[in-house]
């Protein structure tokens, strides 16, 4: 756990240069706009430890699988979001010495992420080996208003010398992915051009054939006045640059405005990408940095109006939740149904940037509650359009008759995860996708989605479950063998309670959904039945499975067993582990972890969260009290689930502790892995921990329900929630709950089991019940 980020309500601040933490900071201070993103690399040369990262959404490479023992059914590749052309490069050479913070003496340094307006700011004073001092300042955006544009305002001021400075502005497409399986470069040269004040590089991905053009234009100003400079242009494969020379004087301020355009064949024709890029660059220059920033910050203001959470009296908590919301809003905007949310977003390469079940289980609720309805809907459409590939994935593993197994990891619907215990066994992911359909319809009231898209997916997933179980003559029940549950510190287990539970829930929900579509639109059902060759006896099989499924439990303890044989383990609570043993995944062998009782993330408790209405509080409490002491929370997804359930059970200090851990997971580097990128999908879990935990928010029976409480560490909190056509602003203090309706329709909600009416534009108040 690190503690070098200064607490601030609206900024992420690094005071002083910490080269040992530079990769962490590059992750933390990343910026993006849903279309592209950029790690917080320095514009100028840096020869210290760094992970260069510029990413473009949806552009990937199928890196050939690398395993020691090939197994039938393995995917042939792992899809990776590529490190794309470096557009931020501005090299500064002073009197023949290249400015480099790894070599020069750093006298002053600060790096700030301004979340309210969405920009990265850096300031430094550096000194070369001859004692020449320079002040540099940079301000960088990836425009939310015009997503194909990035812009930099870079200022340098000689402090104590006159001299010659050479500035090289460049686009470098000759980049690598650090996580390449075979040290392969993933980009092919197409074209490059450099002229006075302009340059671009067009590259093509190997195998997948995506084209990306990255271009630049710039201007240099001296004390605010534009300088007319003749640049020396250079091109080489996948590289274009302009080099300008300046005679500088002490105390004079020189500002470079660099504009980047990033365009892809996903949105434009390949034959004219360079022209499209040029037009975008012209638009950027015409608008200028301040104009671009004005439009960009206006979009951020609107996003904060929709999604901000305000916490009184606890700056650490406030900074944490805003950082999480900031990253979620700049990672996914929901404007393109072909895109999804990688676990690292635009902050790093790990996990390949591909889609996991995290989207449905954690991210969907955030976008349901904070964004226009099409944003969450597009996450579901993404999976619907991958249904054919999910059926093919199942066929590769021997399933038939239209059964679908959605991939654990994907970019295009094809499975590309290559660890057998995950690829073949962590099949609960299918349940998360089914649950997301239910969650979306329940929350939005968009019943038409079921007949148009959702039911087809549900039937295909249910067909998988019905083939994946088998009948046990010994138990006289259906069982599910050889699976991995959400707790990935257990592999190849039999009868994981969560997997069995969500499988049966899916079957029941599918049966119910078929009935609903038949009753509401017979023609829709008949068309779908014919398309899927659906047989009535399928429903009978599903009902039999639901009736006779086996669930492991310990009736004496009153708990559900994570899987068969769990109680054979030596049950030693986490608190009794020696500090030098954690994190386990960095200190123990995999064999030792698998034989232990320790739980990576919520497993049984994940099921009790999703289906809490099916269990009484006493049952949830018994399971929580048993499993939480055995949980090491070495998945970023774990603390949020525990925060919600601790809130439900009245464990308020524990809920706060878990909330702080998930909210500041990356800011404080809890798991010693933020250098690889931030945990974007778990940030949605932070939002859930707040709204569902402290706010007690649930969607039930076409209404929102709230049971808020105020942690002892806070003076108050406020948050906004979208629900169907209504927008509510909830304020919680020690005395009152105040609900403001800022939308154009009246709404009724439940607060502490009391129905509260809030008129359009009106306000209602309820006495707080924090005890």
Q: What is the pLDDT of residues 362-400, one digit of tens each?
A: 999 999 999 999 999 999 999 999 999 999 999 999 999
Tokens 């209405």 identify what position?
613
**What is the model's pLDDT at position 75?**
87
Nearest in space to 254 (alpha carbons), one of 228, 224, 231: 224
The CA dihedral of 756, 758, 763, 765, to the nearest 10 degrees, is 0
pLDDT tens digits for range 632-647: 999 999 999 999 999 9
Residues 6+ apart with CB under 8 A from 211: 190, 202, 203, 204, 264, 265, 270, 273
Burial degree of 484 (CB within 10 A; 0-12, 13-18, 19+)? buried
What does the longest C-alpha to C-alpha distance in the chain come to?
Answer: 89
**What is the model's pLDDT at position 402?**
97
Cβ–Cβ under 8 Å, residues 105 and 70: no
**What is the model's pLDDT at position 751?**
97
Identify the band that residue 308 occupies on the pLDDT scale cut at 50, 70 and 90: very high
DSSP 565: T
Task: Give the ranges where 469-603 is alpha helix by DSSP (H).
Answer: 497-520, 522-532, 536-548, 590-595
pLDDT at 418 over 90: no
Phi first, then psi, for residue 26 (nearest 5°) are -60, -35
CA pair distance 137, 111, nearest whole angstrom: 10
Tokens 């039945």 identify what position?
529
| Structure tokens that stand for 77 in this block | 């590749």
Would residue 488 show up in a list of annotated catalytic residues for this protein?
yes
Over residues 269-281, mean pLDDT:
96
Over residues 474-480, mean pLDDT:
98
**What is the model's pLDDT at position 683?**
97
**What is the model's pLDDT at position 699?**
97
Helices 455-468 and 373-384: crossing angle in degrees, nearest 10, is: 50
Q: What does DSSP say about strands 77-81 and 187-195: parallel, antiparallel, or unpaired?
A: unpaired
The helix/strand/coil state of 384 is: helix
Over residues 492-521, mean pLDDT:
97
Average pLDDT, the chain: 96
Over residues 262-290, mean pLDDT:
97
The helix/strand/coil state of 324 is: helix
The β-bridge partners of 472 are: 477
pLDDT tens digits for range 506-520: 999 999 999 999 999
Q: Which of 488, 490, 628, 634 is catalytic?
A: 488
**Of 93-97, 402-406, 594-598, which range is least confident?**
93-97
Nearest in space to 703 (alpha carbons), one of 445, 516, 446: 445
| Structure tokens that stand for 435 in this block | 């649950």
CA pair distance 614, 650, nearest whole angstrom: 19
Over residues 607-611, mean pLDDT:
98
Angle at 672 between CA 668 and CA 675, to 5 degrees: 85
pLDDT at 771 over 70: no
The helix/strand/coil state of 392 is: helix
Nearest in space to 206 (alpha carbons), one of 193, 190, 220: 190
Over residues 457-462, mean pLDDT:
98
Over residues 484-505, mean pLDDT:
98
Tally: H helices and E strands in the chain? 20, 34
Handedness of CA 476, 477, 481, 486 (dihedral sign): negative
CA pair distance 242, 254, nearest whole angstrom: 17
DSSP 410: B
Burial degree of 208 (CB within 10 A; 0-12, 13-18, 19+)? middle
DSSP 350: G
Residues 6+ apart with CB under 8 A from 683: 323, 324, 325, 327, 328
Nearest in space to 84 (alpha carbons), one of 64, 55, 112: 55
Nearest in space to 402 (alpha carbons), one of 463, 450, 457: 463
CA pair distance 397, 399, nearest whole angstrom: 6
pLDDT at 684 over 90: yes
**What is the model's pLDDT at position 685?**
97
Residues 6+ apart with CB under 8 A from 602: 486, 487, 609, 627, 631, 637, 638, 641, 642
Identify the band that residue 463 occupies on the pLDDT scale cut at 50, 70 and 90: very high
**What is the model's pLDDT at position 581?**
94
Give the helix/strand (H/E) hosting 461.
Answer: helix 455-468
Identify the band that residue 353 occupies on the pLDDT scale cut at 50, 70 and 90: low
Nearest in space to 501 (alpha carbons), one of 569, 419, 434, 442: 434
Whether this prediction's pTM lies above 0.85 is answered by yes
| Structure tokens that stand for 273 in this block | 């990408």
The β-bridge partners of 194 are: 199
- Other Cβ atoms less than 10 A from the Cβ of 768: the count is 18
């Amino acid at each position: 756990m690190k503690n070098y980020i200064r607490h601030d309500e609206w900024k992420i601040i690094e005071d002083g240069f910490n080269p040992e933490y530079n990769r962490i900071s590059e992750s933390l201070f990343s910026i993006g706009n849903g279309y592209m993103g950029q790690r917080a690399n320095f514009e100028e040369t840096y020869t210290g430890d760094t992970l260069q990262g510029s990413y473009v959404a949806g552009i990937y490479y199928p890196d050939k699988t690398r395993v020691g023992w090939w197994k039938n059914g393995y995917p042939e590749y792992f899809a990776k979001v590529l490190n794309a052309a470096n557009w931020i490069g501005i090299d500064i050479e002073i009197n023949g010495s290249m400015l480099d913070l790894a070599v020069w003496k750093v006298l002053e340094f600060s790096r700030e992420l301004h979340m309210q307006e969405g920009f990265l700011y850096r300031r430094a004073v550096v000194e070369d080996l001859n004692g020449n001092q320079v002040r540099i300042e940079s301000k960088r955006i990836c425009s939310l208003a015009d997503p194909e544009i990035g812009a930099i305002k870079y200022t340098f001021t000689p402090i104590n010398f006159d001299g010659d400075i050479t500035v090289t502005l460049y686009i470098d497409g000759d980049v690598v992915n650090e996580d390449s399986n075979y040290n392969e470069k993933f980009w092919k040269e197409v074209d490059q051009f450099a002229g006075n004040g302009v340059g671009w590089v067009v590259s093509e991905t190997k195998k997948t054939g995506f084209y990306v053009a990255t271009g630049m234009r710039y201007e240099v100003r001296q004390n605010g006045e534009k300088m007319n400079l003749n640049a020396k242009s250079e091109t080489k494969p996948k590289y274009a640059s302009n080099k300008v020379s300046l005679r500088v004087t002490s105390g004079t301020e020189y500002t470079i405005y660099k504009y980047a355009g990033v365009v892809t064949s996903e949105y434009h024709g390949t034959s004219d990408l360079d022209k499209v890029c040029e037009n975008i660059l012209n638009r950027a220059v015409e608008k200028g940095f301040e104009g671009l920033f004005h439009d960009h910050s206006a979009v951020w203001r609107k996003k904060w109006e929709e999604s901000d959470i305000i916490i009184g009296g606890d700056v650490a908590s406030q900074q944490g939740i805003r950082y999480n919301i900031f990253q979620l809003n700049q990672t996914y905007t929901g404007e393109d149904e072909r895109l999804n949310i990688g676990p690292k977003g635009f902050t790093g390469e790990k996990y390949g940037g591909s889609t996991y079940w995290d989207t449905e289980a954690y991210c969907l609720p955030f976008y349901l509650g904070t964004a226009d309805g099409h944003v969450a809907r597009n996450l579901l459409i993404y999976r619907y359009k991958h249904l054919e590939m999910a059926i093919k994935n199942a066929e590769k593993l021997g399933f038939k008759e239209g059964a679908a197994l959605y991939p654990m990891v994907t970019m295009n619907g094809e499975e590309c995860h290559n660890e057998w215990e995950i690829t073949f066994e962590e099949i609960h992911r299918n349940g998360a996708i089914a649950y997301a359909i239910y969650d979306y319809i329940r929350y939005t009231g968009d019943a038409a989605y079921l007949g148009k898209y959702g039911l087809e997916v549900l039937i295909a997933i249910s067909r998988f479950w019905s083939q994946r179980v088998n009948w046990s003559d010994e138990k006289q029940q259906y069982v599910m063998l050889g699976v991995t549950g959400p707790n990935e510190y257990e592999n190849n287990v039999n009868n994981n309670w969560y997997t069995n539970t969500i499988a049966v829930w899916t079957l029941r929900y599918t049966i119910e959904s078929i009935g609903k579509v038949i009753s509401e639109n017979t023609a829709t059902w008949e068309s779908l039945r014919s398309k899927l060759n659906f047989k009535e006896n399928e429903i009978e099989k599903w009902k039999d499975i639901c009736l006779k499924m086996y669930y492991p439990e310990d009736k004496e303890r009153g708990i559900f067993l994570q899987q068969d044989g769990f109680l054979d383990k030596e049950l030693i609570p986490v608190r009794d582990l020696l500090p030098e043993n954690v994190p386990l995944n960095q200190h123990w062998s995999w064999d030792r972890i698998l034989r232990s009782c320790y739980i990576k993330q919520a497993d049984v408790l994940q099921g009790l969260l999703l289906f809490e209405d099916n269990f009484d509080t006493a049952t949830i409490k018994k399971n929580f009290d048993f499993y939480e002491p055995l949980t090491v929370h070495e998945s970023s997804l774990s603390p949020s689930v525990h925060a919600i359930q601790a809130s439900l059970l009245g464990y308020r200090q524990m809920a706060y502790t878990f909330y702080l851990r998930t909210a500041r997971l990356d800011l404080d580097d809890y798991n010693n892995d933020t250098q690889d990128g931030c945990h974007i999908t778990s940030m949605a879990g932070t939002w859930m921990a707040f709204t569902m935990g402290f706010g007690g928010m649930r969607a039930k029976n076409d209404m929102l329900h709230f049971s808020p409480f105020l942690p002892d560490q806070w003076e108050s909190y406020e948050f906004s929630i979208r629900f169907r056509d209504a927008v509510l602003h909830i304020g919680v203090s020690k005395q009152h709950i105040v609900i403001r309706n800022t939308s154009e329709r009246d709404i009724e909600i439940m607060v502490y089991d009391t129905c509260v009416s809030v008129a359009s534009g009106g306000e209602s108040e309820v006495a707080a019940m924090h005890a």
